[in-house]
Structure 1
Amino acid sequence: MITLYWSPQSRAVRMFWALEEIGQPYELELIDIRAEDRDDPPDFLAASPLRKVPALIDGKVKIADSAAIVLYLADRYAPGDLAPHPDDPARGEFLTWLFYTPSVIEPAITEKFCEIPSNPTAYPWGSFEKMLAALEARLTDREWIAADHFTMADFMVSGTIDFMSNFDILDPSAVLKSYTERCLTRPAAIRAKIKEQAATKALAN
């Protein structure tokens, strides 16, 4: 059984969607990341040395970080579907765009939100504007970010675009809006939202 360590209002909630995509049973274990005196379980600490969520345990596998988790889930449970096979030429673009969120989008968001002066020559993400331009160019006249079907790279990118839109970091263009809607209306994404809301409500009761 897969165990997801999560906390409401954190990056961990997007893992509901990833887990629904692979169609495997899973259980939830709450980590109160906002508690002053945390007593985290040993298995969680083994999976996440920095005590961050999400983290996941699947048998003997212990893993943390969203991109690493979804790559593992796709390769383990949906190879060739949610992740191109290693010998598929599309594997390269898949990996590029899968890690575009933690390597490019999220640092660019920090730059914009914290009003850090951009330095496109030095910063590996270029700048917020360059990040956005590359994303727009990639999705123009394309249905999916990599390969010719939905993959975990789309999960990562669309979820982050949705986050930026919800927090007024980005007013998405028609291209980005259409792409995000295409991803977020997948049955697995809809099921995940319902389960997330139910899990959050159960904590409040």
Structure 2
Amino acid sequence: MALTFYTNPQSRGRIARWMLEEVGAPYETVVLDYATTMKGDDYRAINPMGKVPAIVHDGRVVTEGAAICAYLADAFPQAGLAPPTDDRADYYRWMFFAAGPFEHAAIDRARKIEVTPEQSRMVGYGTLDTAIDALAGFLDEREYIAAGRFTAADVYVGSHLLWGSQFGWLPQRPAFDAYMARLRERPAYVRGGEIDDALMAGQ
């Protein structure tokens, strides 16, 4: 089955790249430019938002990083990146925590948006500190997000932590440091980063 990956190496597409490398299935990469091809009619027919990443797998379109990770884990079960269906509570909980309140809090911090106590009741994450403490407290007690082993949830949650560490907004926590060290040793993470870094150098 054909698998095409639409991305830009300076984007959240790096999350999907890592996941694709973990899956190990052959795929074609289409690199898009922010100002032109990403906003062109051909790509908007795939993702009307004009955003990356996106994949097209045997004619089926999937956008959004968390959805791509979850989809690929199910589409390629031989990679072992999804827990059994009766052991997915933590897998879904924390993957979508990262996609929702955690990313929202991080983007607000990057944009220097300060949430007042009154507004904290409105926003899904409450405060960034609350979101950070929730995830750190969970990781204090385990090596990976779900099922006692590496899964697609670690690709997605881990990408947010690695990104936050790289850009300086993530507070230091021993649980985060140990978790990220494990993730940086993944051959697929290293391989995906090298591919995207080479694409950046060639742009």
Confirm or deny a common fold (TM above 0.5).
Answer: yes
Deviation per residue, 1:87-109 (Å, 9 max, x gap): x1x21211111111121111111
Residue 88 of structure 2 is matched in structure 1 by 91
Deviation per residue, 1:85-143 (Å, 9 max, x gap): 33x1x212111111111211111113323223243332221210110110111001201
Deviation per residue, 1:30-63 (Å, 9 max, x gap): 211133994342xx32331211100111112111
**Percent of aligned positions that are identical:** 31
Of 86, 100, 103 in structure 2, the residue corresponding to residue 106 of structure 1 is: 103
Residue 114 of structure 2 is matched in structure 1 by 116
Aligned residues: 199
Residue 195 of structure 1 is matched in structure 2 by 195
Residue 5 of structure 2 is matched in structure 1 by 4
Q: Is the 8 A contact 1:22 1:77 kept in 2?
A: yes
Letter in 1 for 2:124: P
Residue 67 of structure 2 is matched in structure 1 by 68
Shift of 1:80: 8.4
Q: Is the 8 A contact 2:22 2:79 kept in 1?
A: no
Residue 138 of structure 2 is matched in structure 1 by 138
Residue 58 of structure 2 is matched in structure 1 by 59
Shift of 1:171: 3.3
Provide runs of 4+ in structure 1 moved above 4 Å: none
Stretch of structure 1 that moved more, 102-111 or 135-144: 102-111
Shift of 1:180: 0.9
Q: Return the alpha-carbon distance in structure 1 between the equivalents of residues 169 and 122 of structure 2.
A: 23
Q: Return the alpha-carbon distance in structure 1 between the equivalents of residues 170 and 113 of structure 2.
A: 15
With normalisation by structure 2, the TM-score equals: 0.90
Q: Which blocks of at least 5 consecutive residues in structure 2 are unaligned?
A: none
Residue 34 of structure 2 is matched in structure 1 by 33
Q: Which blocks of at least 5 consecutive residues in structure 1 are unaligned?
A: none
Q: Is the 8 A contact 1:3 1:56 kept in 2?
A: yes
With normalisation by structure 1, the TM-score equals: 0.89
Distance change >3 Å, CA 2–CA 129, structure 1 → 2: same
Q: Is the 8 A contact 1:31 1:40 kept in 2?
A: no
Greater RCO (CA < 8 Å, at least 6 residues apart): 2
Q: Is the 8 A contact 1:54 1:66 kept in 2?
A: yes
Residue 128 of structure 2 is matched in structure 1 by 128
Residue 15 of structure 1 is matched in structure 2 by 16
- CA-atom RMSD in angstroms: 2.0
